[in-house]
Amino acid sequence: MNGWSFLLSRRWAGYLALTIVFALVSSGLGVWQFARRAEALTEISKIDANYDASPVPLADALPDLDSFAETQKWLPVTVTGTYLVEDQLLVRNRPLNINPGFEVLTPLRQDDGTVFVVNRGWLPTGQNQDAPDAVPEPPTGQVTVVARLKAGEPTLAGRTASGDQIATINLDDVAERLDAPTYTGAYGLLDTEDPPAADRPTAVVRPIRDEGPHLSYALQWFVFALLGFLGLGWAARQEFRTVNIDDPAERERAKTRARREAAKPRGDGEIEDALLDGTHSPL
């Protein structure tokens, strides 16, 4: 085959197909990283809009027990009621700074009988048992709570718990345990209590405003897709030179490339070797 006709071979058709597949996979991963960045930016917008907002009454934020919109995540609400300490639950497998532990869920019953689940914070696993060594008591009597809204969690296959421990914050399951009208759209991450407790679990920390490296990863994947075609073009050019080595025009181009290569400035090591061999005279 002379000229570029080798590109019509089955072998080069295979190379082109592999390059296209590689480009499609790389582009798909780039699009996925853009989607991940969009999700991160959405979470950041929720933090900016809601985390430091003025608290609103729970009934205004969640008019129905199953009300909740993702745009309300981190929104502070106020709710007044009495903690149901006897119905308190511990959520398993909740690490904090790589330390194993639990989150404490304490239902809060309002005067109208409805119950709002409050996550009062984190406790480490005990020294001698798979439970906290001690759970700080919440305030007794009527208490006014400021908490930030967060959606309930789905049930995860393979995760089990017993007694006063639960595997996930599935609010429907919690409502069944309480056997009372319970908010199932969202629960609250405790911010403040009035009156305050003498001691409380470790408070949930403010979420970090970090979109992650998704943008740079996305751009890298698109660059990889482009490099695949550039590599294919380079390989085609190299084979063209090999296939057409007997062509006078290609021989002339090869000589020109050789002269350019020879004319390139040599490194210090090569100059020193030339001096030692006596083939290069110092200036």
Tell me: the pLDDT tens digits for 242-274? 888 877 777 777 777 777 777 776 666 666 665
| Structure confidence at residue 283 as a pLDDT band (50, 70, 90) | very low
pLDDT exceeds 70 at position 1: no
Residue pair 164/102 in contact by the 8 Å Cβ criterion: no
- Give pLDDT, residue 114: 97
Q: The tokens of 191 are what? A: 């911010």
Give the C-alpha separation, 118 to 84, whole Å. Answer: 10
Structure-block tokens of residue 269: 């090591």
Q: Answer whether 126's CB lies under 8 Å from 116's CB.
A: no
Instruction: Single out the residue of 99, 107, 106 nearest to residue 126, CA to CA.
Output: 99
Among the listed residues 105, 116, 14, 22, the one whose alpha carbon sits nearest the alpha carbon of residue 64: 116
pTM of the model: 0.74
* pLDDT at position 276 over 90: no
The CA distance from 14 to 12, in Å, is 5
Residue 179 pLDDT: 87
Quick one: pLDDT at residue 180?
93
Question: How does pLDDT run across 148-192, given as a tens digit for each residue?
Answer: 999 999 887 777 677 889 989 999 999 999 989 999 999 999 999
Residues 38-47: what's their mean pLDDT? 94
Q: Residue written as tokens 């480009």?
A: 23
More confident: 87 or 162? 87
Residue 17 vs residue 161, higher pLDDT: 17
Percentage of the chain surpassing pLDDT 90?
68
Residue 16 has pLDDT above 70, yes or no: yes
| CB of 33 closer than 8 Å to CB of 224 | no
pLDDT at 56: 97
pLDDT of residue 249: 76
Higher pLDDT, 65 or 254: 65
